[in-house]
Amino acid sequence: MTVSANTKVDVVRVFTDAAGRFGNELGIARAADVAESAQQALAAELGYSETVFVEDAVDGVARMRIYTPAVELPFAGHPSVGAAWWFATNHAPIRALEVPAGSVAVEYAGDLTWITARAAWTPDFTFHELSDVQELARLQPGDFAGGPHYLWAWTDKDGGALRSRMFAPTLGIAEDEATGAAAVAITALLQRNLTITQGEGSQLFTAWQADGWIKLGGRVVADA
């Protein structure tokens, strides 16, 4: 299929740095504009690591479905943060997103958009802790089959700062620039708040909560 001229797809970049650089592209389409049977094909054609299809918000709650180029996901972090920002910028702030995994609470604080999710909703990441960021930089996506693989190294262990990369060929993503679900999962694994720099320089912020919920925040900008 090809994208219909009648299908509007907004593109935002999620988890930028403070200057609005880097970030992971996200396609956002209205669910009413694309038949459910065509959503996966459109996501594959667009080629972003995720594309979402959103319904209009009712009483501050919006339903959403999430697709990589290869599969539908029950939850994903950068689509949730990006869609929450998109609603606030284009329509009105929302208090929750309903995704197949469950209800994702939404908060807005300054230039950050926050969501709250559970690590149990995330894909089954294989974590690889590396000795330093130089070793991390030398890795090649083609060296990692299957996945998803999340590779990371501390840059400031006392301060909770780390650098990461993510390879997920099974999801149709050779390398992801910024992976919110992985940030949620590693925060639950390490049980501490984190500041994560992923890929070329995307920034993700997390807050660990003892009740099993993880807060994930970041900056978003309009792209196209």
Domain ranges of the chain: 9-117, 121-209
- Residue 50 · residue 12 · CB < 8 Å: no
| pLDDT band with cut points at 50, 70 and 90 for residue 212 | confident
pLDDT tens digit sequence for 17-40 = 999 999 999 999 999 999 999 999
* pLDDT of residue 2 exceeding 70: no
Residues 9-117, CATH architecture: Roll (3.10)
DSSP assigned state of 13? E
**37, exposed or middle or buried, with CB in 10 Å at 0-12, 13-18, 19+?**
exposed
* pLDDT of residue 198 exceeding 50: yes
Q: Percent of the chain having pLDDT more than 70?
A: 97
CATH topology agreement for domains 9-117 and 121-209: yes
pLDDT tens digit sequence for 150-163 = 999 999 999 999 99
| pLDDT band with cut points at 50, 70 and 90 for residue 1 | very low
CATH class of the 121-209 domain in this structure:
alpha beta
Where do the H-state alpha helices sit in 60-132?
Answer: 77-90
3-state secondary structure of 137: helix
**Cα 99 from chain centre:** 13
pTM, two decimal places? 0.94
72: left (phi over 0), alpha (psi -120 to 50) or beta: beta
**Cα 109 from chain centre:** 18
pLDDT tens digit sequence for 59-117 = 999 999 999 999 999 999 999 999 999 999 999 999 999 999 999 999 999 999 999 99
